[in-house]
Amino acid sequence: MMIFKSLIESLAKSVIHISSEETNSTAVERFRIGELKIDQESLTRSLSCIRDRDSFSVSFEYADSDQADSLSRRDSSSVSSFCDRLRLQLQEDPDVKGVITVKVTKGFSGRACSIYSLSLIEQYWRAGGIASAATKLWALAEKAFIIESPEIQGAYNTGLFVIRSSAQENTIATNPETTNKDKLLSARNKGCLFYENKNYPFIPQDFNVSPAFEHAGIADLFNTLKLAFSIIFLADITSLDDKALTATIKGYRHVTGTIQLDGSRDTEIAAAYYEIYQWAYSDGSITDKLGIARNLLSIHINGNAFRNLQDGSMPAIISNYSIYLKDSVKQYIEIKNKLSDQIQKQSEKASEMVKSIGSYLRASIFSVYSFVITTFIIRSMSKASADGLFSDGVYLIFIMFIFLSVGTLLYAYKEAEAELRRFESIYDAFKSRFDDLLSKSDRERILQNDKEYKRDVEYVKESRKRAVYLWLSCLLVVFIFVTIIKLTQTELVPPAL
pLDDT digits (tens, 9 = 90+) for 140-180: 999 999 999 999 998 999 999 999 998 887 788 888 999 99
Name the 3-class secondary structure at 284: coil
- DSSP line for 437-473: TS-HHHHHHHTGGGHHHHHHHHHHHHHHHHHHHHHHH
Determine what percent of the chain is predicted with pLDDT higher than 70: 78
State how far the Cα of 282 lies from the Cα of 289, in Å rounded to an integer.
9
Residues 386-415 have pLDDT tens digits of: 455 566 666 677 677 677 777 776 777 777
Please, what is the average pLDDT of the chain? 83
271, 280, 150: which is closest to 207 by C-alpha? Answer: 271
Which residues, other chains included, contact 322 with Cβ-Cβ below 8 Å and sequence gap of 6+?
Answer: none
State how far the Cα of 457 lies from the Cα of 125, in Å rounded to an integer.
58
State how far the Cα of 316 lies from the Cα of 307, in Å rounded to an integer.
18
Contact 131, 242 (CB under 8 A): yes
331, 364, 373, 370: which is closest to 471 by C-alpha? Answer: 364
Check residues 472 and 117 and name the one with the higher pLDDT.
117
Radius of gyration over every alpha carbon of the chain, rounded to an integer in angstroms: 41
Cα torsion at 137, 138, 143, 147 (round to 10°)?
Answer: 30
309-326: buried (b, 16+ CB within 10 Å) or exposed (e) per residue?
beeebbebbeeebeeeee
Structure letter (DSSP) for residue 325: H
State how far the Cα of 174 lies from the Cα of 111, in Å rounded to an integer.
10
pLDDT-derived band at 309 (thresholds 50, 70, 90) equals very high
356-369: buried (b, 16+ CB within 10 Å) or exposed (e) per residue?
ebbebbeebbeebe
Q: For residue 221, is pLDDT > 80? A: yes
Contact 56, 63 (CB under 8 A): no
Tell me the torsion sign for CA atoms 208, 214, 216, 221: negative
Q: For residue 380, is pLDDT > 90? A: no
Which residues, other chains included, contact 21 with Cβ-Cβ below 8 Å and sequence gap of 6+?
Answer: 27, 28, 29, 120, 124
The secondary element (H helix, E strand) that includes residue 116 is: none
Phi, psi values for residue 469, rounded to 5°: -60, -45
pLDDT at 438: 57
Where exactly are the structural domains of the chain?
5-105, 114-327, 330-492
Contact 364, 470 (CB under 8 A): no
343, 477, 369, 360: which is closest to 410 by C-alpha? Answer: 360
- DSSP line for 59-76: EEEETTSS-EEEE---SH
What is this structure's pTM?
Answer: 0.66
Residues 426-448 have pLDDT tens digits of: 777 766 666 655 556 666 666 67
Residues 41-82 have pLDDT tens digits of: 999 999 988 999 999 999 999 887 778 899 999 999 999 999
